[in-house]
Homo-oligomer: A and B are copies of this chain.
Amino acid sequence: MTAARGSGTEEMLARAAWSRLVEPGDAVAGALVHALGARESLDWIRWAATSGRAESAVQTLVAREDEALAPLRRRLGAALARWEPRLAALEPAQEIEHVHRLGGRFLHPGAPGWPTGLDDLGAAAPLGLWQRGRPELDRLLTRSVALVGARASTAYGDRVAVDLADGLAGSGVCVVSGGAYGIDAAAHRGALAGGGATVALLAGGVDRAYPAGNAPLLERVLEQGGSVLSEVPPGGVPSRSRFLMRNRLIAAVSRATVVVEAAWRSGALSTAHHAAALLRPLGAVPGPVTSVASAGCHRLLREGAAICVTDAAEVLELAGPLGTAPEERHEQARPHDGLDWVADRVLDALSLRSAADVDTLARRAGLSPGDVRGALGTLELARLAELRATGWRRTRAVT
C-alpha cells in the first residue's frame, strides 16, 4: 500500500496524516474531520496554508459549512497556525508501510477492528490508531478491564496487580494498561501469566518501546495474541501531555478501569477521571493507609468516585455483564449459624466445664425455663449441648 486506491484507502491515508499533524486530543481537528471528512479537511488545510490567506479560508469554509463549523470559527485560525509547521513532513503511506512491516496496521473509525469504545470520546476521539498485534482488536476489547497505577509502585501494589490481572485473564478478560514500569508492567505480566491477551496503550509510537526496559515485555504481549496501540504515529516520542491524553484512550477502550496503586497526585488518577467522565465503571484497590502509594486510591474511594475492589471476582462484578458474579465468599459457617436468638442465648449460658440445670440456665440466659428446655432440644440435635448426670453442658467451644 503505497498510494491512495479508492476513497476508503484515501480516507485512511488522510487520517494517518492527521494523526501526524495534530497532538492527541485536538478537539478542533476532531470536529473538522467529522464535518468534512479526513481527506477534504486535509486538502482544505493545505490550501489555506499555501494560499497564505488563512483568515479568508476560514471565513469561506465556515460560510459554506455553516452549522457544523460555526462553533469553531474563532478556534480554526489558531488551529491552522499550530498545524501548519508539520504540514511539510506528512508521509502517511510510508508510515503505514513501516507499521505493516512490524505486523501492524493503522485503524480508523468504522474500519474493521476499530475499538468502538473510542467513539464515546466524541470530538476528543483519536483520528486513528496505530496498532501492532492481531487484527481483531475490537473483539478482544469487548471483554476488557484497564488496570492502571503508579510507576513508583510498591511490592504490595505489584503483587495485587499481578494477581488481579492473572485472575481476569483466567476469566477471559483482556487486561489493558499503559506499558509503563510499576503497576502497568505488573498488570501486563499478570495477564500473560494467566494465559491472556493483553493490550498496551502507549504514549509514544508503537515501533518504540517506552520505557526501553519494557521492550521484552511488550514483545511477549504481542507473542501472546495481545496488542500494542498508540494514537501517535511511528517514531512518536512520549511526552507528559501525550501521557495524559493517552490515559483517555485506556479508559475509553476498556469496559471498566481499576486503579491498583496511585499516589495522591498520579497520572493514574487522570485515567480514573476519564473513566468516570465516560460513565465507565471505576474501581480502586485499597492499601495500607501508611503507604503514600495508595493515597490516590483512597482519595477516589473517599470521594465516592470509585468502588472498592479487592480481588478479580469483584473486578468482574464491577465490569458488569462481561463477567460472572463472584461466588459467596468468606462465609465460613460457624456452629451457631442458623440458631434462633433463644437457642443462641442458651448456648451462651452453657458452660464447657460445669453442667447446669434448666432453672440455672434460665436465670443465666434471662429466659423462661420452658424456652430453655425447648432451646436445649435444638442444641442437642445440633450436637452443641449434651445432658450429663449433673445437668446440661456445652459440647465444644464456640467463638
Residues of chain A touching chain B, judged by Cβ–Cβ distance below 8 Å, are 21-23, 26, 78, 81-86, 89, 156, 159-160, 239-242, 263-265, 285-290, 292, 294-295, 297-298, 301-302, 307-311, 314, 329-332, 334, 336, 341, 344-345, 347-349, 359, 362-363, 365-371, 398
Contact = CB atoms under 8 A, between A and B. Distances in A.
B366 A289 contact: no
**Residue from the set A265, A289, A349 with the largest chain B CB neighbour count within 10 Å:** A289
A348 B276 CA distance: 27
A78 B367 CA distance: 9
Contacts of A294: 286
29 contacts: A21-B366, A22-B366, A23-B345, A81-B370, A81-B371, A82-B366, A82-B371, A84-B368, A86-B366, A89-B363, A159-B290, A239-B345, A239-B348, A240-B347, A240-B348, A241-B341, A241-B348, A264-B330, A265-B331, A265-B334, A286-B287, A286-B288, A286-B289, A286-B298, A286-B308, A288-B288, A289-B311, A295-B330, A308-B308
B239 A349 contact: yes
Interchain residue pairs A-B with the least CB separation, the first 6: A286-B286, A81-B368, A264-B330, A23-B366, A301-B308, A289-B310
A166 B264 CA distance: 23
A329 B78 CA distance: 38
B265 A366 contact: no
Contacts of A314: 302
A359 B285 CA distance: 45
B366 A240 contact: no
Given A239-B348, A265-B330, A156 B288 contact: yes
Nearest to A88: B363
